[in-house]
Structure 1
Amino acid sequence: MSCNRFDLPNTRREFLQTAGCGFGAVALAGLLGEQSAAAAIPLPQRAAKAKSVIFLFMEGGPSHLDTFDYKPLLNKLAGQSLPASFKPPITAMGESKSPLLECKRTWKQYGQGGLWISDWFQNVAQHADDLAVIHSCASSGINHAGGVCSMNTGSVFGGRPSLGAWASYGLGSENQNLPGFVVIKDSEATVVNGVRNWGNGFMPAVYQGVEFNSDGVPIKYLDNPKGVDRKRQRDKLDLLGALNRDYGASRASNTELDARIRGYELAYKMQAEAPQAVDLSKETEATKQLYGMDNEATAVFGRNCLLARRLVENGVRFIQLYSGAGSKWDSHKGIEVNHSRLCNAVDKPIAGLLADLKARGLLDETLVIWGGEFGRTPMSEQGDGRDHNPTGFTMWMAGGGVKGGQTYGATDDLGLYAVEDRLHVHDIHSTILYLMGLDHTQLVYNHKGRPERIDQNEGHPMTKLLGA
């Protein structure tokens, strides 16, 4: 029966406001009922093997010269000044004229491709045939704030969406009971720039990353309060949702409110599925040992890597693991002590992750990325350290369809500048999205009338990374 109630608007503005609220409610209902929260763009034109990404972020800037980029000339010229044939670099600490610092590592060639890897990563080296080592990375960020922000968002300035947010926006989630983008640090220390590194920027807040804990219970406050059963919790959420939707009806542009409503719904769903997804007690002792969880030095990052594998199995799209949260990879002084400890903490867990993914048939569809915000200089700082080097450094990728056992690009003979197939952060982001089946030129979000992209219209994917 008709209610015979008609609200006649008196002005065009009132009509549009009322109609807009109605459309907003329909859109919200659709968001809550859809199977994914992907962007309204065509499905990827190219079938991609990489369904998920695990980004192993060494915060503070690991030295490529002591890990994956072998430079024999560096030791021959150690103690001397940078040759005059090199363009004087701009360094964060202004010690560009300091003598060259020798590399004290032992290097060997591994795999069929003969990749040079130092003894700091002798466990990862056993997977050399799976590694696509990119020696020609570059960034615009010379300090940690700009470098970390650039590697995560494509800009040295805060406010833009993170790479994980773009991936979630473009592809949605394969599991509506878990977040599509998860971040796990190796300590309670704050990553430089904080949560902006996995933020949504100008996108709706539903695309931001969700931080899990590195120890204890991965997800805090997931259980219902004592004395509250699941039905009562459902009733509370329904009431809260109704109040929020009523409040948001006249505030359609408030994406934080939409995100909060979705967050409550996701938390309710996670109460049923997340405990099983993050329950490491189901893993065998052999698996835990594979990740180094039986050793105090490797237990934390090993646990995080194992959690990442379980999240991939449960359909999480983008997982970012931080090693050295709080810029602990920064080595202006005492690089031997600093990097020895940190490399030892991650080497076995990363090797275990690669081995486990491969054994379970997941490596081909999981893109594993290793790197930091920049590398280190061949020149010394404070005698036994190295300064920041954003002009040429190394990252590697494995799985996700990349062609492993090879190096791509190159730095000069001292590892200071990228000189062959230079891959700027914009290109790195474009490449990652390409490997996930997304054309970064078509992944667009309109912000204040301007079509925005992850690469700010400057990136080009390195398609040669893709295997046959």
Structure 2
Amino acid sequence: MTTRRQALQIGGLATLGLSLPELIDADDRHAPPRRQKHARSCILFFMEGGPAHIDLWDPKPSAPVEIRGKYKPISTSIPGLQISERLPHWAPIMKHLSLVRSVSHNIVDHNASSYYTVTGQSPLRAGQLIRRPSRDNFPPIGSVLAHLKPTRQPLPDFIHIPQRMFNCGSFIPGQLGGFLGFPFDPFITGDPSSGNFQVPGLQRHPRLSAQRLDQRRNLLSRIRRDGPLDTLPVTAEFQGQYQRAYDLITSPQARRAFQLEDEPVGVRTRYGAFAAGRDSGKLAHLGSSLLLARRLIEAGVRLVTVWAGRQVFDTHRGHYAELDNVIGPPLDRAFSALVEDLAERGLLDETLVVALGEFGRTPRLGQITSSAGATADGRDHWARCYSVLLGGGPIPAGQLFGASDTLGAYPARNPVTPGDIAATIYQAMGLDPQRRLRDPLNRPHTLAAGNPITPLLGG
């Protein structure tokens, strides 16, 4: 693994006038034979905080009111499948998705559960929960894909919108390259809904001409080739990074991928992009973020994570006020627009779309399961049973897998874990989840601590 000190020894991209020191130099490794249809790209929509499965995708109309809540079920484009009336625009898109209603684990800590979700690995180490980032951590799915299935194109293979996830004074673990090293950290875009959106480091300095940039690049190449730096093992690791950073900053096609203003007004309106004045608060960015994700995978990016925001779905109090006024409208509008847009453009066949949180919320209103508690009109953390949605690529459309019990508290059939979900994502992206990835101490690790959900892969 490359240390920051070694990176500085090499000279970094500052010598070139660039500010992209952590772009991926992924190395093409032993891709498995194509035995089935695989997705080319993935959009992972992470609803951090824990969305309420009963109030969104797993309604319980026959349960007592303190469990079923205020929303009524509505029919969807899948015969016999109902979801909550809070998501009316999701009803027609369900024919493109598969719904898993039986995801289960036992960890109700946001940070540790998020690590489990985005890496597919147990968040327990030496009996302690992994709550903070470390370079010893297992890399997230996006970093592994960038490492094992690089695209070799100017845009980074792993992009995160809009910013790194954080909670309780710390970044959430599992977002960075972990033991693969910081070259496999995601590229962070910033908030695309902000005024004057500019991607950090994408623009050449106004006083640095293309000719001067080429001169600096050639000078750095000579220094690296002729000097002692060329003997450092880490030098080879950075050669591809330099080239990709240069390609990114000089590529008009790469820059265009980030230009949401190129989208027709009708498309932006459909997503709710730039709708901060109408969609209040925490999810105001969502339309712009999901639209940017579509543009990036269209431009060839391997995996894009869209983070909803810090504990947007963490409704310990005022649960229905949050769903009615803050969460529901942009969630309903933006994600349904993404799925419809991908389907209409013919991108859904090659794009895996995943919508998930780190856990769900308590079946009973006012039920307390964590130190944060819950008021009478709130739902606390609940990991014993919740829902995840997948679609596109090899995922069969319109499928329901698993079921919760009558209260939405525990799986009634086909329980699966976050490790199984991660294994399914890897398999859908053309990687064997049982493949071994070696850490800097040469210890082997399987890509996911779980097994693919075979029915979700057409098996």
Give the TM bin, normalised by the shorter chain.
0.7 to 0.9
Alpha-carbon distance in structure 2 between the residues aligned to 1:339 and 1:453: 38
Alpha-carbon distance in structure 2 between the residues aligned to 1:127 and 1:289: 18
Indicate whether 1:336 and 2:320 are aligned: yes
- Equivalences for 1:352-363 in 2 at 5 Å? 352-363=337-348
Indicate whether 1:270 and 2:259 are aligned: no
Alpha-carbon distance in structure 1 between the residues aligned to 2:172 and 2:201: 19
- Asked whether the equivalents of residues 204 and 259 of structure 1 are also in contact (C-alpha less than 8 Å), the reply is no
Greater Cα offset, 404-413 or 287-296: 287-296
**Residues 195 and 314 (structure 1 numbering): CA distance in 2 closer, same or farther, change over 3 Å?**
farther
Residue of structure 2 aligned with 1:183, choices 160, 169, 178: 160
Question: C-alpha displacement at 1:146, in angstroms?
Answer: 0.6
What is the percent sequence identity of the aligned residues? 29
Alpha-carbon distance in structure 2 between the residues aligned to 1:258 and 1:107: 57
Match of 2:4 in 1: none
Match of 1:81 in 2: none
TM-score in terms of structure 1 length: 0.80
Match of 1:114 in 2: 80
Find the residue that maps to 2:243 and give its secondary structure.
helix
Unaligned runs of 5+ in 2: 1-9, 11-23, 124-129, 367-373
Question: C-alpha displacement at 1:349, in angstroms?
Answer: 1.0
Greater Cα offset, 257-266 or 304-313: 257-266
Residue of structure 1 aligned with 2:203, choices 223, 229, 234: 223
Question: C-alpha displacement at 1:168, in angstroms?
Answer: 1.7
Bigger Rg, structure 1 or 2: 1
Match of 2:51 in 1: 62
**Residues 452 and 262 (structure 1 numbering): CA distance in 2 closer, same or farther, change over 3 Å?**
same
Match of 2:289 in 1: 304
Match of 2:116 in 1: 150
Question: C-alpha displacement at 1:67, in angstroms?
Answer: 0.3
Question: C-alpha displacement at 1:264, in angstroms?
Answer: 4.1
Alpha-carbon distance in structure 1 between the residues aligned to 2:335 and 2:259: 20
Question: C-alpha displacement at 1:329, in angstroms?
Answer: 1.4
Alpha-carbon distance in structure 1 between the residues aligned to 2:229 and 2:189: 28
Alpha-carbon distance in structure 2 between the residues aligned to 1:149 and 1:247: 40
Question: C-alpha displacement at 1:418, in angstroms?
Answer: 2.2
Match for 1:184: what amino acid?
I
Match of 1:348 in 2: 333
Residue of structure 1 aligned with 2:457, choices 431, 443, 466: 466
Question: C-alpha displacement at 1:205, in angstroms?
Answer: 3.0
Indicate whether 1:411 and 2:411 are aligned: no
Match for 1:359: what amino acid?
E
Question: C-alpha displacement at 1:377, in angstroms?
Answer: 0.8
Residues 373-416 of structure 1 show CA distances to partners (whole Å, capped at 9, x for unaligned) of: 10001132221111111111001011112112221011221111
Residue of structure 1 aligned with 2:414, choices 421, 424, 431: 421
Match of 1:318 in 2: 303
CA RMSD of aligned residues (A): 2.6
Match for 2:349: what amino acid?
D
**Residues 111 and 168 (structure 1 numbering): CA distance in 2 closer, same or farther, change over 3 Å?**
same
Greater Cα offset, 211-220 or 300-309: 211-220
Residues 45-78 of structure 1 show CA distances to partners (whole Å, capped at 9, x for unaligned) of: 42333111101111111100100011234325x3
Greater Cα offset, 332-341 or 129-138: 332-341
**Residues 276 and 242 (structure 1 numbering): CA distance in 2 closer, same or farther, change over 3 Å?**
same
Match of 1:10 in 2: none
Indicate whether 1:203 and 2:180 are aligned: yes
- Asked whether the equivalents of residues 113 and 406 of structure 1 are also in contact (C-alpha less than 8 Å), the reply is no
Match for 1:116: what amino acid?
Q
Question: C-alpha displacement at 1:117, in angstroms?
Answer: 1.1
Alpha-carbon distance in structure 2 between the residues aligned to 1:335 and 1:68: 16
Equivalent pairs counted in the alignment come to: 404
TM-score in terms of structure 2 length: 0.81
Question: C-alpha displacement at 1:191, in angstroms?
Answer: 5.5
Alpha-carbon distance in structure 1 between the residues aligned to 2:229 and 2:82: 57
Match of 1:171 in 2: 149
Alpha-carbon distance in structure 1 between the residues aligned to 2:434 and 2:64: 43
Alpha-carbon distance in structure 1 between the residues aligned to 2:293 and 2:210: 28
Unaligned runs of 5+ in 1: 1-24, 26-34, 79-100
Match of 1:5 in 2: none
Match of 2:126 in 1: none
Match for 2:342: what amino acid?
L
Alpha-carbon distance in structure 1 between the residues aligned to 2:108 and 2:298: 37
**Residues 438 and 59 (structure 1 numbering): CA distance in 2 closer, same or farther, change over 3 Å?**
same
- Asked whether the equivalents of residues 59 and 68 of structure 2 are also in contact (C-alpha less than 8 Å), the reply is no
